[in-house]
Structure 1
Amino acid sequence: MNKELNVEPLAYAVKDAARTLGIGTTKFYELMNDGTIPSFKIGKRTLIRHADLVAFIDDQSKAA
């Protein structure tokens, strides 16, 4: 019997990470390029850790 697991991703592709934050990919690339949101590569894919997205949101809410 196969059950589908409802598991949160550990990392997102850029497009998915931007969608998760509710911003465009251009703005997301700006945040990555200035070091605000860390990223890493596996092969040609650029990925962003779920924990880094959560930390970004936490930092933004504290600054507001």
Structure 2
Amino acid sequence: MNDQYLCSVSEAAKLLGVGRTKIYDMLAKGQILSMRIGSRRLVKMDSIKALIERGDAA
């Protein structure tokens, strides 16, 4: 992963090899974190890294 702090939902899906719907499900469950900037939902890269380290993406 690169040095970005945030990525789009589509980029997060591509990084994790899942669909956008799964990313929204993971956001709803608190498995990954996001923030809104204007109308955009951006996923926090640190939460993606933490998810991978925890290995709990069931």
TM-score bucket (shorter structure) = 0.7 to 0.9
Q: Which residue of 2 aligns with 1:4?
A: none
Q: Which runs of 5+ in 2 are unaligned?
A: none
The partner residue of 1:25 within 7, 12, 20 is: 20
Q: 1:44 and 2:39 equivalent? A: yes
Runs of 4+ residues deviating >2 angstroms: none
Q: Which runs of 5+ in 1 are unaligned?
A: 1-6
Any idea what SS the aligned residue of 1:23 has? Answer: coil
Q: Which residue of 1 aligns with 2:10?
A: 15
TM-score (norm 1): 0.76
The partner residue of 2:53 within 47, 58, 63 is: 58
Q: Which amino acid aligns with 1:54?
A: K
> Residues 32 and 44 of structure 2 are in contact (CA less than 8 Å); yes or no, is this contact kept in structure 1?
no
TM-score (norm 2): 0.83
Output the CA distance in 2 between the equivalents of 1:29 and 1:12. 13
Equivalent pairs, count: 55
Alignment identity in percent?
Answer: 33
RMSD over equivalenced CA pairs, Å: 1.4
Q: Which structure has the greater CA radius of gyration?
A: 1
Output the CA distance in 1 between the equivalents of 2:3 and 2:13. 16
